[in-house]
Amino acid sequence: MSRALLARNGRRALPLIYGGRRGTDTLSGVHLAARRFIVDMSYSAHFMDFKGSSIASSMKKLVVTKLSPNFREAVSTQTVAVPTPGDADLLVRNRFVGINASDINYSAGRYDPSVKPPFDAGFEGIGEVVGLGLSASSRYTVGDTVAYFGSGAFAEYTVVPAKEAVPVPAVKPEFLTLLVSGATAYIALKRLGDLAKGETVLVTAAAGGTGQFAVQFAKQAGCHVIGTCSTNEKAGFLKSIGCDRPINYTAEDLAKTLKKEYPQGIDVVYESVGGSILELAVNSLATKGRLIVIGFISGYQSASGIPPFKGGTLPVKLLQKSASIRGFFLPHFLGDYREAMSSMIQMFAKGQLVCEVDFGDLAEEGKFVGLDAVFRAVDYMYAGRNLGKVVVEVAPPSVSNSKL
């Protein structure tokens, strides 16, 4: 269809098709402004006239071209046409994308062995809606700010199903931290932690992307919180968010400290490191203790993806303490996701939740800016240098805030 014909059709449709409504989004509590016309000249131009709009004709994205836990080896930058959203989709210009330890599990093909390269990389992004399908426009409009949790986030533009988008008040990287890292801690502790006031909770890698949230949610539940970290700076950060006993394991012997200061054991462990730390966590459990495994980052870079674990006596140890080990994988708990996001967004808005972001300002080559910086950001996180959630700024703010 020519641009002129589409424009004529758009003008004819103007008196007939109107947008949705005013109201409040039930997921985020964000007030939605009155909708504009679903079909109008700007809508037509957005999809058909790239030169006349702010949408580029091509974009960069990161694609897994070879299965490997070595992110740089597995992933390449490609230049492709900007995709067109389907009827129920949004086209989002990504402002920020989040880095997760599991990015290299994904690039290694560990989550779904049936999926073969090439496939798009990245799990989470936040940005502005710059295009949308007809059905999607009953709820969204160009210029809306949204976050999302789904594949293909490592790109300058991403097509996101409207039903999976999370409306957010602004394109702030803090909201991005909630999508995977925050939601994992919130749901895992709520569904599997069975936290009770006065219990002792140990969070490993506590100053990282998800650890920071586990510390805060455990404190909100009235628990005494221990957090492991690797530097005094991180220990200071943990104190600032309410951690009762930060332990810098490079300066203190973790096993001896836990045994001396917590002889009755740990009631709940939020564990993401694996290997020897997981073994220590098992040995440190209290009677009826619960150990939640949300990952094992210490093994992700290996060929198998699994760190060594001496589990021969595990059944005996669990039986003697009536203890349990519980695994958590976020995609299995999507029924809890909307409530978790709504609650966390409201807590952040009220100043009740710290969402620490690490843009790599102290990295050798500077702040993580531009899509190619994702490679450096992954290396930075696996070097254990991050304090908080590692985030890459894909693009600067739009020059114009118009609805185009």
**Cβ distance 300 to 294 under 8 Å?**
no
Residue bearing the bigger pLDDT, 8 or 363: 363
The pLDDT confidence band at residue 24, using thresholds 50, 70 and 90, is: low
Instruction: Give pLDDT, residue 398.
Output: 62
Q: Which residue type, as a one-letter code, is found at position 167?
A: P
Q: Three-state SS for 217?
A: helix
Helix axis angle, 276-284 to 314-321, nearest 10°: 30
Q: Which residue type, as a one-letter code, is found at position 255?
A: A
- Whether the per-residue pLDDT at 161 is higher than 70: the answer is yes
**What is the average per-residue pLDDT within 229-253?**
98
The pLDDT confidence band at residue 30, using thresholds 50, 70 and 90, is: low
Q: Which two tokens stand for residue 171?
A: 């394109």
**What is the average per-residue pLDDT within 25-45?**
49
Instruction: Give pLDDT, residue 46.
Output: 43
Using omega within 30 degrees of 0 as the cis cutoff, is the peptide bond preceding 118 cis?
yes
| Alpha helices, DSSP H, located in 138-231 | 173-177, 183-188, 211-220
pTM of the model: 0.86
Q: Which two tokens stand for residue 208?
A: 């990282």
**What is the average per-residue pLDDT within 339-355?**
97
**What is the average per-residue pLDDT within 143-155?**
95
DSSP string computed for 103-164: HHHHHTT-S-TT--SSEE--SEEEEEEEEE-TTGGGT--TT-EEEEESS--SBSEEEEEGGG
Mean pLDDT computed over every residue of the chain: 88
**What is the average per-residue pLDDT within 6-16?**
33
The pLDDT confidence band at residue 401, using thresholds 50, 70 and 90, is: very low
Instruction: Give pLDDT, residue 57.
Output: 86
**What is the average per-residue pLDDT within 306-325?**
96
Instruction: Give pLDDT, residue 26.
Output: 53
* From 37-46, 200-209, 219-228, 261-270, the region with the lowest mean pLDDT: 37-46
- Element (DSSP H or E) covering residue 327: strand 324-327
- Whether the per-residue pLDDT at 3 is higher than 80: the answer is no
Instruction: Give pLDDT, residue 1.
Output: 41
- Whether the per-residue pLDDT at 35 is higher than 60: the answer is no
Instruction: Give pLDDT, residue 23.
Output: 52
Q: Three-state SS for 82?
A: coil
